Amino acid sequence: MTVTPKVAAIHDLSGYGRCSLTVALPILSVMGVQCSVLPTAYLSAHTAFPGFTFLDLTEEMKKTMGHWEALGLQFDAVYSGFLGGVEQIDIVADFIRRFRREGGLAIVDPVMGDYGRRYVTYTDEMCEATRRLAEKADVITPNLTEAAFLLEEAFDALPADWAGLAELTRRLSCGGGRSVVLTGASDGESTIGAAVYDRETDRVDFVLTDRIPGEYHGTGDVFASVLTGALLRGRSLVEASALAVRFVRDCAARTYPLHTPPQEGVDFEPLLYTIAADRL
Ligand code: PXL
């Protein structure tokens, strides 16, 4: 029997909508990973639903960390995503220092925006702090919009060919210091997937699939959660990326004919069994 790996997931909890913790928890559990949660904020619904409420949980995060330290907790991975403010971003860096076990992973999804636009709650200061946090990561999982913010470049000027995307991925690695899984990599045609720079091999590989039409909110969180689960179950970065690409593609393919609005995200629940621990 193998020991169940432990991950600490630091994201918001959105009451309605498929993203952040409501995605990370079921995915990591079904993959056979124990998921402890440190919620950064409680929202009535995620930020694509107009009129959402927002309860900042910064003080509770600090108290929780004090208690977890007293309990002597250590995690095989720290996995962060949507954060509620600048102070929280620095708290996550502190969390990594105190709670990542020796040899463990810090997976930072540098959530800031999508489709060339910033999420409504993200400010310039938060993007700057996210850049600092990403420097502490072992693996980052930006989409193209976030890649532009991390490199402080114009979204419209990003490369649209494979060689340019490979070069962009390498540049995001901070000189090979961290691994990078760039999502949404596409030549603009019928193919989409991830560009993967693994600092262990110093290679960039593309993991691609056919493009399913439509826009789906929260797929970055689905992707990063599957990636985290697969890494903790011993997969290489390229293997874990391939599983995440396939799962997101299958979820989108299932959702497309349902004609649900983009803010409903992907209909992933009926497909969770395809990434269950006994299949990995
Ligand atoms: O999927 C990223 C995300 C996470 N959490 C909240 C969001 C978003 C994207 O909009 O609104 C609350």
- 4, 75 in Cβ contact below 8 A? no
Tens digit of each residue's pLDDT (9 = 90 or more) over 247-264? 999 999 999 999 999 999
Tens digit of each residue's pLDDT (9 = 90 or more) over 192-201? 999 999 999 9
Using the CB atoms, write b or e for 7-19: b if 16+ within 10 Å: bbbbbbbbeebbb
d(CA 79, CA 170) in angstroms, rounded, equals 22
Render 199-247 in DSSP notation, one character per residue: TTTTEEEEEEEEPPPS--TTHHHHHHHHHHHHHHTT--HHHHHHHHHHH
Q: Going by C-beta distance under 8 Å and a sequence separation of 6 or more, which residues neighbour residue 106? A: 77, 78, 80, 96, 100, 136, 137, 138, 139
d(CA 22, CA 73) in angstroms, rounded, equals 23
- What pTM value is reported for the model? 0.96
CA 155 to chain centroid, in Å, comes to 20
Model pLDDT, residue 166: 97
| Rounded-to-10 torsion of CA 211, 236, 181, 215 | 30
Model pLDDT, residue 120: 86
Q: Tell whether the model's pLDDT for residue 183 goes beyond 70.
A: yes
Query: Which H/E stretch holds residue 34?
Result: strand 34-37
Q: Tell whether the model's pLDDT for residue 40 goes beyond 70.
A: yes
Residue to mutate (ligand 1; options 14, 49, 222; most atoms within 8 A of CB): 14
At 265, the pLDDT band (50, 70, 90 cuts) reads very high
- 197, 170 in Cβ contact below 8 A? yes
d(CA 48, CA 24) in angstroms, rounded, equals 18
Q: Tell whether the model's pLDDT for residue 53 goes beyond 90.
A: yes
Tens digit of each residue's pLDDT (9 = 90 or more) over 76-93? 999 999 998 899 989 999
Structure tokens at 69: 């330290």
Task: Please tell me if the CB atom of residue 220 comes closer than 6 angstroms to any atom of ligand 1.
Answer: yes
Task: Please tell me if the CB atom of residue 23 comes closer than 6 angstroms to any atom of ligand 1.
Answer: no
Model pLDDT, residue 91: 96
Model pLDDT, residue 199: 97
At 189, the pLDDT band (50, 70, 90 cuts) reads confident
DSSP at 262: G
The residue whose C-alpha atom lies closest to atom 10 belonging to ligand 1 is 47
Q: Counting atoms of ligand 1 from 1, which one is nearest the CA of 47?
A: 11
Backbone angles phi, psi at 66, to 5 degrees: -60, -45
